[in-house]
Every structure is written in structure tokens, then in C-alpha cells.
Amino acid sequence: MQIGDIIKRKRLELGLVQKELEVRSGVTQSMISKVEGGSAENVSIDVLRRLAKALNCTLVDLLPEADKKQR
């Protein structure tokens, strides 16, 4: 599961459409769509922090399990 899939799942769990997440996070609906669709490259930490806050989770919660493991 990729970051975009995780964000979409969390958004849907809260019953939000992308436009509502835009209002909560300040991240444009266009960017949210790109992130969820996997077409956004090099998403900034600031964008991820704002999305995490709007989704009531931590930034780490948005990371795939493989990225959470220490090497």
C-alpha cells in the first residue's frame, strides 16, 4: 500500500470528499487527487503534515509499513 492509498483510506474512513480535506488541510484538491492517484512526485513533508493533521493521525501513520521499518 502506497502513501496515496493510505491517505484515501483514512479520508474515506472519516467520510470526507477530497474538497472537504482541502478545506481542512489547506492542500489543494488537485494535489490531494494527485497524491491519492500516485501521480504526485516528491510530495513535501509540509503537505504530508497538513494532511495528517486534517486526517487526525500522525505523519508516520501515512507511511507504508515497509518504510516504517528500520534498516
Three-class HEC string of the chain: CCHHHHHHHHHHHCCCCHHHHHHHHCCCHHHHHHHHHCCCCCCCHHHHHHHHHHCCCCCHHHCCHHHHCCC
The per-residue pLDDT for range 14-55, each reduced to its tens digit, is 999 999 999 999 999 999 999 999 998 889 999 999 999 999
What local confidence, expressed as pLDDT, does residue 70 receive? Answer: 59
- In the chain, how many domains are there? 1
pTM for the full predicted model: 0.88
Domain CATH number, residue 10: 1.10.260.40
What local confidence, expressed as pLDDT, does residue 67 receive? Answer: 72
Query: Domain containing 28: what range?
Result: 3-68
What local confidence, expressed as pLDDT, does residue 42 receive? Answer: 86
